[in-house]
Amino acid sequence: MVLESWRRPSGGNMHWFNMKHTLLLSFVTFKMLEWTSVMLPLWSLMAYALILASCYWFGFVACRWVKRYKLATTIASYKKAVVITGCDSSGSNMLARKLATERGFQVLATFTNPGSSEAQRLSKIPNIDVIEMDSTNEESCSRARELIERKVEASGNYLWAIVCCENSCGTAEIEWQDMSSIQRIVDVNIVGTIRTVKTFIPNLRKTKGRIVIATSVLGQLSVQGLVVYSMTKAALTSFAEGLRREMQVWDVDVCTVQLSDPDCDSKMIRRSEEEFSQRVAIADDVREDYGREYFGEFFRSMSRFSERFLDAQPNAAIDVLTHAVTTVWPEVHYRSSDWTRHLINTALDYAPTEVIDLYLEKLLEKNFVPNAISKA
């Protein structure tokens, strides 16, 4: 538990704390190696420089891990309120329940439709208030902020964190999509998140709070059929990175949690396929060039990708989001996945483009071509 008088070492105040402890551990490690120089070939200046650099890197990694995961305590939930957006989805809903019931935060869960059955069930849980908010609408965000401020003040609390989880996803190749569907994804995922964060920044500056933004592994790995979605998540990562630097002077933490997209599951793909079959905006020549068989194989391929690459279980994501909200020293970037997916995703970060393309081909099993090409 962290006392209210605790000076939280975040933002710009972290630099000397990091450097001091890293250098200490690096120096101790270096001296231990120096004392064993009789047995080790450390006679040349280049060897000494290499060992010193290795020691510094070891000290940096070790100190960072110990500080953030072994020594870091949990923020006290006393008098703290958390806003969670996009609670229409199961993941955000579970996070709201966990922070309210297990951690004791006052949770303000936003819904685009507060009259839904899920919103009604959530409103019956102690410490949770359901708020109507449409992040794509400026007036709706302003009304939500006023209502949240009144509820938080009435409870004797203050706004500690905002967790941006609102999400819109759909699958189709770019040529098949109309601009309205593309605009919808951009409005919700990018513009809506920016509008929400901008709305609550004045409150978080006063309380030295925290901003947590849910991004996606697809923001680093753009996949056919999910190009627009991947673009929006990459944009959110860039937005959070710049915002973090702007907020350091106010001692406000900004971090991202890279999810494995339980929202882009097979149910979403089937829904996209149904919407696509009813879409009349696709030109006849485009339909003819691709062919009905290509469309069917495409959606089956996307289902295989979802099952093999994306994680449909939100529990790991909930734990990581909870850590981002409640720890004294949050990470700048989190990645929620099991260790196998984590290793694969990390390897893909550094892999050549040709290797990534080959890996995606294996996942998608794309052994079909458009009708116009097969006839050529």
- Lowest pLDDT segment from 19-23, 163-167, 355-359: 19-23
Distance between CA atoms of 142 and 268, rounded to whole angstroms? 31
Asked if the model's pLDDT at residue 267 lies above 80, the reply is: no
Predicted pLDDT of residue 17 = 44
Examine the domain organization and report whether 212 and 336 are in the same domain.
Answer: yes
Distance between CA atoms of 256 and 216, rounded to whole angstroms? 9
**259 part of a folded domain:** yes
Examine the domain organization and report whether 190 and 50 are in the same domain.
Answer: no
Predicted pLDDT of residue 194 = 97
Asked if the model's pLDDT at residue 311 lies above 60, the reply is: yes
Mean pLDDT of the chain: 82
**292 part of a folded domain:** no
> Per-residue confidence at 12, pLDDT binned at 50, 70, 90?
very low
**276 part of a folded domain:** no
Examine the domain organization and report whether 210 and 188 are in the same domain.
Answer: yes
- Lowest pLDDT segment from 69-83, 133-147, 165-179: 69-83
The DSSP string of 237-268 is: HHHHHHHHHHHGGGT-EEEEEEE--GGGSHHH
Predicted pLDDT of residue 160 = 94
Higher local confidence (pLDDT), 239 or 263: 239
Query: Average pLDDT of 177-197?
Result: 94
Asked if the model's pLDDT at residue 106 lies above 60, the reply is: yes
Examine the domain organization and report whether 193 and 57 are in the same domain.
Answer: no
Domain count for the chain, please give it.
2
Lookup: tokens for 326: 């409640």
Calculate the dihedral angle through the C-alpha atoms of 336, 337, 340, 342, rounding to the nearest 10 degrees: -30
Predicted pLDDT of residue 41 = 54
Domain span at residue 24 reads 11-32+41-71
Distance between CA atoms of 292 and 370, rounded to whole angstroms? 9
**221 part of a folded domain:** yes
Higher local confidence (pLDDT), 317 or 256: 256
Please choose, from the candidates 170, 15, 158, the residue with its C-alpha nearest in 3D space to the C-alpha of residue 83. 158
Higher local confidence (pLDDT), 51 or 241: 241
**305 part of a folded domain:** no
Examine the domain organization and report whether 48 and 106 are in the same domain.
Answer: no
Query: Average pLDDT of 121-148?
Result: 94
Query: Average pLDDT of 177-206?
Result: 94
> Quick one: what percent of the chain has pLDDT higher than 70?
79
Contact assessment for residue 166 and residue 187, using Cβ atoms and an 8 Å cutoff: no
310's CB contacts (< 8 A; 6+ apart) are 217, 260, 261, 262, 264, 265
Examine the domain organization and report whether 110 and 244 are in the same domain.
Answer: yes
Total residues belonging to the chain:
376
Contacts 24+ apart (CB under 8 A), 348-351: 348/220, 348/221, 349/220
